[in-house]
Structure 1
Amino acid sequence: MATDISGVGRPIAQANGLPNAHYTDPQVFAEERDAVLYNQWSGLAVAADVPEPGDAKPIEFLGAPLLLLRDKKGVVRVFHNICRHRGMILVSEPKKIEGAIRCPYHSWCYGTDGRLVATPHVGGPGMNTHEDMDRDTLGLVEVPSHIWRDVVFVNLSGTAAPFEEVNADLIERWKEFDSPHYHGGKSSNFQLDVKTNWKLAVENFCESYHLPWVHPGLNSYSRLEDHYNIEEPGKYSGQGTLVYRQIEDDNGTTFPDFPGLSDKWNEGAEYITVFPNVMLGAQRDHAFAIILEPKGLDETSEHIHLYYAKEDTSQELRDKNAALWKVVFEEDVFVVEGMQKGRHAPGFDGGRFSPAMDGPTHLFHQWVAEKIMDHRQKLAAE
């Protein structure tokens, strides 16, 4: 089923959003998986998920079994989580790899760098080598990956341009934050399971238009009129505020700032989506990353992680900060779930965009439509 997405690319005042099928149809979901999520640099996890050498975490990303691990040299890698022999899943739960990664089926073993290091009885009983089994060509298949702001981005198709090239403008925009980001620990990591298509979570995050009605607490000090749109066509979009207020404990203590920031960040903050599925927040004293995991047409897991400029920040203040952000993100749940239900209305045409307020959301729709059209043209040419 090829949807008509021509209306998405029109100027914002005349544009429609993506058609209903992009939120409700399994065939379109599969097309977006390939065109938008596999072919681009998508967020998979964070490096903090595997903090020490040998740590391994299996992750299923849109049906693809992957293995996130930190090798013995401390390098974070992503592999297909299958043995090269018969395709058996190698690691079924998070664990520490003490020696080698051993396949539970026939005990083929791999180093944490992906090399095939043992093939017991492959040449017959007691014969662990065979002239026709070249170990050098049978290592684990590594997935192209890149870490930025602790987020592990992957390109499943292996066809995307380098991450630093694709996201050069955003990296430059936030270069002042090019300093260590320390994960806040267990209390600074939480998950929201939402009954919605993953794109609706992005669309909602992109704009500040909904603040007065959905986030009255936040809007009481960071009002709609204190925000601005961030619009970089074909690259990223989001929103910023001019009145960021630091959180304090009962003694008036705040988190330490990231070093070397300009005055812009004294009361400024920005919230940007790295297309397709990573939502980031940059503030003077802490940062966050939200990785959207599409679980199905109308199921999304939001993995939220909070970061600080130093490792030894106050646990009490970290807990308070996490609780406040959790409230804000939970306030969005009824909205994105309500829009998902609304996409089943037969007469809905994708909706319209406010030229003044919805620019960031429209840019995301345009980017998705562009990637789908590119994918269709490539398939047609094959």
Structure 2
Amino acid sequence: MPKDRDLNVLDAVRAPIESARGLPNSHYTDPATIAEENEAVLRRTWAGLAVGADVPEPSDCKPIEFLGQPLLLVRDKDGTLRVFENICRHRGMILVEEPRKIEGAIRCPYHSWCYSKDGRLVSTPHVGGPGQNSHPRMDKSDLGLIEVRSHVWRDVIFVNLSGDAAPFEEVHATVLERWKDVEKPLYHGGADSSFTLDVKTNWKLAVENYCESYHLPWVHPGLNSYSRLEDHYHIEEKGQFSGQGSYVYRQLKGENGEVFPDFDGLPEFWDTGAEYIALYPNVLLGAQRDHSFAIVLEPVSHMQTREHVHLYYAIPNTTDEMRGRNAKLWKEVFVEDVFVVEGMQRGRSAPGFDGGRFSPAMDGPTHLFHDWVAGKVAALRAERDAE
């Protein structure tokens, strides 16, 4: 049973910001609490899994494990991307062990059952006996790959593992409207525009840190030298997303003054503005006039997170030198946060810490994320208590 199951701690988290406490230590350290939270917060919502650039070409596939569940990204010959459970319907064997291009069908290495790229079971050799590739009591149409509900937005692949969340466009209608002006074609920068950070922290602490600009002067002094704390504003959409925006975005310039091309048709705000939001639960997004990024947080364990960072541009053929410099700069910024989120994780082992307090002026975006997590867990508990 979760450690805080019989306490009113979630009510304290959901209180107004001036009196609220943060999520208690158990949400970062206790396996039972975290398992319950994973069900409420990651399995029943639209969680970020990967990006389309992970399987860029037709017939590409990539196995991924998420919350212990084996999944398979597959892009079919027409370019449609699907997510399946990475198991054969015969005996549950893992189908694909490494990223690769599928030549022909997806073949199970155990008994050679074969599946098309759209998930249909197409071949069952010797299933009716030697030389008999069918059986009258086995209907192949009922034994295709199990598809996981998915949606792609800004190249991020979102999945709803429970299968019963409202449609993505409905759940996230507000952010789709907010960012409609930057809803442009995105071109992934390629191998030099993606990197992964392995961080010894719970994934929620990465979200909490990303949400707010309060830490800029001390953790990011270089960034704060031109995009100062006072140049930022809060983005707060209760129950959906939160983050920060800046009125001062400075474009990267090359040695000869070159810059990345802008996205077409942007309103005037984006000349100098930028926005950075945490789309609940585990996707961090950034939008600027000339490039954007997506960070998918992979919850490896209660105290290990992989941050998968991907950079995108307005055109497909930006220069190697500029892309490399941009990736280096962003990596430096994100690495600066590592000691903070790892330090907060270590701090969650202190029994005297009660979740902390929030600055009413500075911590609104982070408080909203805590409130959302607590609300999802409380709703799950109420549902189970009513059964």
Alignment of 1:54-93 (within 5 A): 54-93=59-98
SS in 1 for 2:371: helix
Q: CA deviation at 1:368?
A: 0.4
Give the TM-score of the pair, scaled to structure 1: 0.99
Residue type at the aligned position of 1:314 = T
1:7-64: per-residue Cα shift (whole Å, max 9, x none)?
Answer: 0110000000000000000111111111100100000000010011110000000100
1:322-374: per-residue Cα shift (whole Å, max 9, x none)?
Answer: 00000000000000000000000001000000000000000000000111111
User: Structure 2: any 5+ residue segments left out of the alignment?
Assistant: none
The residue aligned with 1:37 is: 42
Match of 1:328 among 324, 330, 333: 333
Residue type at the aligned position of 2:114 = C
The residue aligned with 1:256 is: 261
Alignment of 1:171-210 (within 5 A): 171-210=176-215
Match of 1:140 among 141, 145, 159: 145
Provide the rounded CA distance (Å) in 1 between the counterparts of 2:136 and 2:332. Answer: 61
SS in 2 for 1:143: strand
Provide the rounded CA distance (Å) in 1 between the counterparts of 2:292 and 2:228. Answer: 20
1:68-125: per-residue Cα shift (whole Å, max 9, x none)?
Answer: 1101111010000000011000000001101000001111000000000001111111
1:296 maps onto 2:304 in alignment: no
Provide the rounded CA distance (Å) in 2 between the counterparts of 1:359 and 1:316. Answer: 38
Provide the rounded CA distance (Å) in 2 between the counterparts of 1:149 and 1:17. Answer: 31
Q: CA deviation at 1:195?
A: 0.1
The root-mean-square deviation of aligned C-alpha atoms, in Å, is 0.6
Provide the rounded CA distance (Å) in 1 between the counterparts of 2:126 and 2:316. Answer: 48
Paired positions, count? 382
Alignment of 1:1-382 (within 5 A): 1-2=1-2, 3=4, 4-382=9-387
Residue type at the aligned position of 1:200 = L
Q: CA deviation at 1:178?
A: 1.6
Q: CA deviation at 1:132?
A: 1.1
Q: CA deviation at 1:380?
A: 2.0
Residue type at the aligned position of 2:29 = T
Q: CA deviation at 1:315?
A: 1.2
Q: CA deviation at 1:381?
A: 2.4
SS in 2 for 1:231: strand
Provide the rounded CA distance (Å) in 2 between the counterparts of 1:159 and 1:352. Answer: 34
Provide the rounded CA distance (Å) in 2 between the counterparts of 1:380 and 1:105. Answer: 43
* Identical positions, percent: 70
Q: CA deviation at 1:275?
A: 0.2
User: Structure 1: any 5+ residue segments left out of the alignment?
Assistant: none
1:126-181: per-residue Cα shift (whole Å, max 9, x none)?
Answer: 11101111110100000000000000000000011000000000010000112110
Q: CA deviation at 1:276?
A: 0.1
Provide the rounded CA distance (Å) in 2 between the counterparts of 1:165 and 1:75. Answer: 22
Residue type at the aligned position of 1:208 = S
